[in-house]
Amino acid sequence: MSITSRKVTDREYEISLGETFDFNCVEEFRTAYESVDDGGKKDFVIDFRATHYMDSSALGMLINMQKYWQERNTTIRIINTNPQVKKIFSISRFDKKFTIV
């Protein structure tokens, strides 16, 4: 599977993506953030270190994740984006919706 997730602390979860993050990952990605839902507040870190390829469906998936958690004041941080992927985020103004570091 190209997406892995692990518990960092009780609240913090890290989701690591594969080389390509597109519509083929829809189910896998949703499972990654829904399966850790125990009703509490969570902090997510999404690690893009391996990711080179993504398209607008990836943006959709991130929006859906945010919608799923938004009631519970959850933070979603996107880390280790390479310069080109970062550009895709900034063009889509995702840097306003998510913390991208």
Q: State the residues that interact with other proteins by CB under 8 A.
A: 8, 12, 14, 16, 20, 22-24, 26-27, 30, 45, 47-50, 52-57, 59-61, 63-64, 67-68, 79-88, 91-93, 96, 101
Residue nearer to other proteins on the CB measure, 27 or 37: 27
Detail the DSSP E strand segments found in the chain. 4-7, 12-16, 20-21, 43-47, 53-54, 75-79, 99-100
Q: How far is the CB of 25 from other proteins (least distance, A)?
A: 10
In whole angstroms, the minimum distance from the beta carbon of 3 to other proteins comes to 14
List the Cα angle 77/80/85 in 5-degree steps: 95
At 1, is the secondary structure helix, strand, or coil? coil
In angstroms, give the least distance from the CB of 39 to other proteins.
19
